[in-house]
Chains A and B, each alone.
Chain A
């Protein structure tokens, strides 16, 4: 009898907490990347604006529309869309195929969420961008490295909560790195009084 293949979680689904910071795997979401063909960015913007009632961000930011679809800047004229399962993003986006490249990314990216008052200090151990609230606020996005792992980093809210979008095959490593950083505690310089 052939072995049945079972879907496996990219990382342990059990949330880990240390020093008031919680690390958990983000909920499964539909993901589609959107990249405008040369000279077609304005057409794409107009379509998305009309279909989803949202302005695609031109700077490293993310915006959410009324339906809870997140539009994440992912490079010049490129975006990553994330939505709850069942939204059927690809069908809604199919008219874009004439002026943009559409790629389903649901299997490619895993979300890791770091949440808690000390999350900024823990994230800052791995990420070489300034996460001070003056420089990086809720909704801001950075394409960068966490350790040596390429991530799309997004601040979800002011708890603070950070979402690391990482390639699935590297999710386990990043999860381990983040957990190790959490166990190291909040550096004295970052202690919140």
Chain B
């Protein structure tokens, strides 16, 4: 499996570390209902199909990446820097 790092170009799996689901979001408030925290900390979807997940390019540019991978075929449809996703999220929330 190869990931096309937006900074470094296509690289082998051995340069990356898998972190997990990129769609979970920390509850805004520390006083959010316990169920929200349980969802955030423990509960994950297990989709058969496209999945957004976090990978770390530790042996390369040391960027966190959001990878869209089809869990049935391992086809990678998109790789973007997580910092860009976070920035877009923030701008989306602000508007």
Contacts and interface: CB of A to CB of B under 8 A. Distances in A.
B59 A144 contact: yes
Interface string B50-86: 0000000001111100000000000000000100000
Contacts of A72: none
B60 A143 contact: yes
Contact of A128 (B7, B12, B61): B12
A144 B60 contact: yes
A142 interface: yes
A145 B11 CA distance: 10
A60 B8 contact: yes
Nearest to A38: B83
Highest count of chain B CB atoms <10 Å: which of A75, A143, A145: A143
B14 A75 contact: no
Nearest to B14: A145
Place the interface of chain B in its size category. 10 to 19
Contact of B11 (A75, A129, A150): A129
B40 to A, nearest CB: 25
Interface residues of A, number: 10
Contact of B14 (A60, A128, A143): A128
Contacts of B12: 128
Contacts of B60: 143-144
A129 to B, nearest CB: 7
B15 interface: yes
A76 B61 contact: yes
A150 B7 contact: no
Contacts of A76: 7, 61, 63, 81
Interface string B8-38: 1101101100000000000000000000000
A150 B59 CA distance: 6
A55 to B, nearest CB: 18
A54 B64 CA distance: 29
B62 A75 contact: yes
Interface of B: 7-9, 11-12, 14-15, 59-63, 81
6 contacts: A75-B7, A75-B62, A76-B7, A76-B63, A142-B8, A144-B8
